[in-house]
Amino acid sequence: MENINNSNWPNRKEFWRGKRVIITGGAGFLGSFVVDQLNEHNVEEIIIPRSAEYDLREVGAIRQLLADSRSNNRPVDLIIHLAARVGGIGANLVHQADYFYDNLMMGVQLIHESYKVGVPKFVAIGTICAYPKFAPVPFNENDLWNGYPEETNAPYGLAKKMMLVQSDVYRSQYGYNSIYLLPVNLYGPRDNFDLETSHVIPALIRKCLEAKERGDAFVTAWGDGSPTREFLYVEDAARGILLAAERYNDSLPVNLGSSFEISIKDLMETVAKVTGFEGEIRWDTSRPNGQPRRKLDVSRAKEFFGFESQVGFEDGLRRTVEWYLASNPVAVR
């Protein structure tokens, strides 16, 4: 294992000085914050491929991207693969085959082609959905293969998990430097607030704000409120990814989380409080709960590259609500 002792960690500004970086998904929710933070360092160039120009499901488009991004006959110094096709429980149920195929093709082909052209390092972003449905809590990276993922998001989780297998065997056979990170559920400004495809926090925020605006007596939430989740503020996640890119050089998977666990019931009540919704919360138990519990063991990230979350949950929630209100002044007054 390399770079565990922090005395070996590079100076952050010096590490990024002059580097050219591809960030797939760089225009998305998490990617936009990774880009913001990279711009604070001395990077030479950040390349953000857009799907209209480079369909990363197609190997030809990947090869074109890698060719177009060469400079002085050299490939980029680093690729951070954030691009994914993903949604909440409802979207996962409807698009299981799409999510499996699209995410598998993007990840596996991008790592392979990056290795072939000599990109020095690849940062693969996996998903908490890769964990077994009944993994012991807190989720430890050693338990990743001890069971099948929760059914509603298993195809997506398994597709992303293949990058972990690939990272391991490409390092073993080819000596290729790729790493694999497992962020927990993210939230924060710029998230997707579309009720059909969003995750739980933006969906609940929007429901509560719109119910408050209309004067509704109640809001409806999915399931029975018993499952627990851990959430990581998006700016913390971006910082963790960049610390790993700088300091970590091995294929052991690493969790990125906050170590803060909250039930969906308590989450709903906290969202109602922060948004000012004072009506009743009704639970639609005909809807799926999803995975029973999610809480990560985050000790490996701290040990391997010094990452710990910094933004408290309620503080992050307030920032998210403030951003949504500022960005949707007509929809919600």
Q: Which amino acid is at 19?
A: K
- Alpha carbons 310 and 258: distance in angstroms, whole number: 8
Whose tokens are 């993922």? That residue is 149
Tokens of 134: 């009944």
Per DSSP, what are the bridge partners of residue 262?
229
First to last CA, the chain: 53
C-alpha Rg value of the chain to the nearest Å: 20
Annotate 66-101 with b (16+ C-beta within 10 A) or e (fewer). Answer: beebeeeeebbbbbbbbbbbbbbbbbbeebbeebbe
- 228-233 vs 261-263, strand pairing mode: antiparallel
- Alpha carbons 244 and 263: distance in angstroms, whole number: 29
Q: Return the active site residues.
A: 156
